[in-house]
Structure 1
Amino acid sequence: MTHRFAVHVYYEDTDLAGIVYYANYLKFIERARTEWVRDLGVDQMRLKEEEGLVFAVRRLEAEYLAPAKFDDDLTVETTLDTLGGARIVLAQVVSRGEERLFEAKVTLVALSGSGQPARLPAIIRRNLH
Structure 2
Amino acid sequence: MTDHVFDVRVHYEDTDMGGIVYHANYLKFIERARSDWVATLGIDQNALRAAGMAFAVARIEADFLRPARLDDRLTVLTRTVSGSGARMVLAQTVSLKGSVLFDAVVTLAAFDMASGRPRRLPPALRAPVG
Q: Taking structure 2 as the reference length, what is the TM-score of the superposition?
A: 0.94
Q: Structure 2 unaligned runs (5+)?
A: none
1:41 aligns with 2:42: yes
Residues matched between the structures, number: 128
RMSD over aligned CA atoms reads 1.4
Quote the residue 1:104 is aligned against: 104
Quote the residue 1:122 is aligned against: 123
The 1:98–1:123 alpha-carbon spacing in structure 2 relative to 1, beyond 3 Å, is closer
Question: Aligned equivalents of 2:129 and 2:90: distance in 1?
Answer: 12
Q: Deviations over 1:60-91 (max 9, x none)?
A: 00000000000100000000000111001000
Q: Structure 1 unaligned runs (5+)?
A: none
1:93 aligns with 2:72: no
The 1:127–1:45 alpha-carbon spacing in structure 2 relative to 1, beyond 3 Å, is farther
Question: Matches of residues 51-62 of structure 1 in structure 2 within 5 Å?
Answer: 52-62=52-62
Q: Taking structure 1 as the reference length, what is the TM-score of the superposition?
A: 0.94
Question: Aligned equivalents of 1:26 and 1:5: distance in 2?
Answer: 14
* Kept in 2: contact 1:40–1:127 (CA 8 A): no
Quote the residue 1:74 is aligned against: 74
Quote the residue 2:5 is aligned against: 4
Question: Aligned equivalents of 1:38 and 1:20: distance in 2?
Answer: 26
Tell me, what secondary structure is at the counterpart of 1:23?
Answer: helix
Question: Aligned equivalents of 2:120 and 2:10: distance in 1?
Answer: 36
* Distance apart, 1:123 and its partner CA: 3.4
